């Protein structure tokens, strides 16, 4: 502010008079300043004459203030420019971010709607169906109504059944639909009268680790339950008419966890089991040694651990398996030759996953009611529908999107008497229901109807695929390390020369290459969804 300093050095009187003049020149916001500005804008010459008519003293005072004001304005302009630059940069970044968000949102919208079609017209109409039932001309009213979209869209939670102290991993209805069996990490199996919301019976499964599946064998009078668990055992429970469990016995032993059993329709004695040791056992309860090894699943020379297995209801000789790679494998029990294509009849896989860097695993697969379609759920990917009659290597025919399958091993299933819908759980805690033919989500219970959950699942999945490509393997590695620690612990306390024994006297071995000394991990609580 050099002008002000010169004024102070020259005379204090000038400084006062200059400041007074500056006050008179600037004035109030609404008065003289606005008037002088308008006069300068309208008539430049008259304003010049007014300046000439001022006294010399006034002219000196005015030029002093004018120098100060010009200097101040230049500094203010520099400061404003300095402040304006980051502000403009922030605005550009914000505009760019908004544009990116808009692009991301549009990309998500495109992703959700891709590979979907318009919902078909409802095949079941309530009024005509009720009229036909009243006239006695519709004997399949309930059967057809169960597959009606109007009812599926109205699904709501009816009530909860509380009885387990650990995660519930499996649910299975008996043939009549009156009882519901549940298995849990607490090693118990509970049979429920779900209408009355009361347990019919509960019993210790005999397993040493998390119970993964418990199923009523068909045509057994609801007296036989088959079970499998993390300890690799396959066990059978005999239930009595007095609503108690007579006993449980082991009928097979995998060298890794066994996640799923596959029942043969209408057979009370035979079923299949699959394990993470890549082995498929066929089990016939009529035999002294019920289990026999059917096949070892391999890709070239490498074993493929299995998570899921299902028998074709239209052709019980055929069954499908899925596990720690991207391929759905179909076998025919009559044609298994491990020297030819490792015994596989045919394989399916979405073409974009065949050579994908992301390690895809199949957590669950099921056949449709008539065996013509095969549904497979991939971890941190989507659900794919294959035509089971297509040739080896055929592409999927439908794709179901929106859920999240990462934190735990998720199941998938058809719903409806003619497999009209696809149903799956999700990491976000919702149950998703898709209309099969259009691939559109028609219901997800306890979810946001605006689709926020669907987009959130997609974003999280993309982020994990970038930063945690081997997240699923990390979970498996965690379980493996826990298993190894337990082995060391047991070996430390085992007496020399004494093998591990099984507490159950009525267990039967599975095959020549399994042993009662097979160590099993202790019970592990499932990771939260």
Distance separating alpha carbons of residues 423 and 172, to the nearest angstrom: 15
Distance separating alpha carbons of residues 252 and 507, to the nearest angstrom: 9
Beta partners for residue 321, in sequence order: 309, 329
Q: For 365-390, write each residue's pLDDT tens digit.
A: 999 999 999 999 999 899 999 999 99
Beta partners for residue 170, in sequence order: 183
Which sign does the torsion angle of CA 353, 355, 356, 358 carry?
A: positive
pLDDT band at 515 (very low <50, low <70, confident <90, very high): very low
Q: For 239-270, write each residue's pLDDT tens digit.
A: 987 778 888 999 999 999 999 999 999 999 99
Residue 101 has pLDDT above 60, yes or no: yes
Residue 200 has pLDDT above 60, yes or no: yes
- The Cβ of residue 50 has, within 10 Å, a number of other Cβ atoms equal to 13
Q: For 102-137, write each residue's pLDDT tens digit.
A: 766 676 667 667 778 888 888 888 888 888 888 887
pLDDT band at 175 (very low <50, low <70, confident <90, very high): very high
Q: For 402-434, write each residue's pLDDT tens digit.
A: 888 887 778 999 999 999 999 998 888 889 999
Number of H helices, E strands in the chain: 11, 26
CA-nearest of 245, 293, 284 to 263 is 284
Residue 475 has pLDDT above 90, yes or no: no
With helix as H, strand as E and coil as C, how does 196-227 read?
CCEEEEEEECCCCCCEEEEEECCCCCCCEEEE
Distance separating alpha carbons of residues 387 and 97, to the nearest angstrom: 43
Better-scored residue on pLDDT, 139 or 10: 139
The whole-chain average pLDDT of the chain stands at: 77
pLDDT band at 158 (very low <50, low <70, confident <90, very high): confident
Task: Report, as an integer, the average pLDDT of 274-300.
Answer: 96
Confirm if 360 and 325 have CB atoms less than 8 A apart. Answer: yes
> How far, CA to CA in Å, does 257 sit from each of 261, 285, 502?
12, 21, 17
Q: For 305-357, write each residue's pLDDT tens digit.
A: 999 999 999 999 999 999 999 999 999 999 999 889 999 999 999 999 998 88
DSSP element (H, E) containing 258: strand 258-263
Query: What is the pTM (predicted TM-score) of this model?
Result: 0.69
- What three-state secondary structure class fits 309? strand
Within 13 Å of residue 446, how many CA atoms lie on the same side as its CB?
8
Better-scored residue on pLDDT, 247 or 519: 247
Residue 2 has pLDDT above 50, yes or no: no
Q: For 26-81, write each residue's pLDDT tens digit.
A: 344 444 344 444 444 444 444 444 444 343 344 444 443 454 454 555 555 656 66
């Amino acid at each position: 502010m050099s002008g002000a300093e010169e004024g102070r050095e020259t005379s204090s009187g000038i400084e006062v008079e200059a400041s007074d003049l500056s006050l008179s020149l600037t004035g109030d916001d609404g008065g003289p300043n606005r008037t002088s500005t308008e006069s300068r804008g309208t008539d430049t010459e008259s304003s010049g004459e007014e300046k000439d008519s001022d006294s010399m003293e006034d002219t000196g005072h005015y030029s002093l203030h004018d120098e100060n004001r010009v200097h101040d304005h230049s500094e203010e302009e520099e400061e404003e420019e300095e402040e304006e630059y980051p502000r403009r940069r922030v605005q550009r970044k914000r505009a760019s971010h908004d544009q990116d968000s808009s692009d991301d949102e549009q990309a998500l919208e495109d992703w959700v709607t891709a590979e979907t079609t318009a919902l078909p017209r409802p095949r079941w109409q309530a009024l005509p169906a009720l009229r036909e039932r009243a006239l006695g001309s519709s004997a399949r009213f309930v059967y057809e109504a169960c597959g009606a979209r109007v009812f599926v869209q109205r699904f709501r939670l009816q009530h909860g059944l509380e009885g387990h102290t650990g995660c519930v991993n499996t649910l299975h209805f008996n043939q009549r639909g009156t009882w519901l069996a549940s298995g849990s990490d607490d090693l118990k199996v509970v049979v429920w009268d779900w209408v009355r919301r009361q347990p019919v019976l509960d019993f210790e499964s005999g397993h040493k680790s998390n119970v993964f599946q418990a199923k009523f064998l068909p045509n057994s009078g609801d007296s036989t339950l088959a079970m499998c668990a993390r300890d690799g055992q396959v066990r059978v429970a005999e239930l009595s008419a007095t609503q108690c469990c007579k006993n449980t016995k082991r009928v097979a032993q995998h060298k890794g966890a066994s996640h799923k059993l596959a029942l043969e329709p209408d057979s009370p004695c035979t079923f299949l089991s699959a394990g993470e040791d890549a082995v498929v056992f066929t089990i016939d309860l009529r035999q002294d040694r019920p289990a026999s090894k059917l096949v070892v699943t391999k890709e070239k020379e490498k074993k493929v651990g299995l998570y899921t297995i299902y028998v074709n209801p239209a052709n019980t000789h055929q069954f499908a398996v899925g596990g720690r790679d991207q391929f759905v494998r179909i076998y025919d029990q009559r044609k298994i030759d491990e020297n030819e294509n490792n015994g596989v009849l045919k394989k399916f896989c979405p073409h974009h996953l065949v050579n994908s860097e992301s390690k895809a695993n199949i957590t669950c697969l099921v056949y449709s009611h008539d065996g013509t379609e095969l549904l497979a759920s991939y971890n941190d990917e989507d659900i794919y529908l294959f035509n089971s009659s297509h040739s080896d290597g055929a592409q999927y025919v439908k794709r179901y999107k929106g859920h999240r399958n990462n934190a735990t091993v998720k199941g998938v299933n058809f719903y409806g008497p003619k497999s009209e819908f696809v149903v799956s759980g999700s990491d976000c805690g919702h149950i998703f229901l898709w209309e099969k033919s259009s691939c559109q989500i028609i219901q997800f219970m306890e979810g946001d109807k605006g689709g926020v959950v669907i987009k959130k699942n997609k974003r999280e999945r993309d982020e994990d695929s970038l930063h945690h490509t081997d997240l699923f393997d990390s979970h498996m590695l965690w379980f493996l390390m826990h298993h190894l620690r337990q082995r060391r612990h047991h070996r430390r306390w085992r007496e020399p020369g004494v093998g591990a024994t099984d507490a159950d006297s009525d267990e039967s071995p599975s095959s020549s290459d399994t042993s009662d000394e097979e160590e099993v991990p202790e019970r592990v609580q499932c990771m939260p969804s």
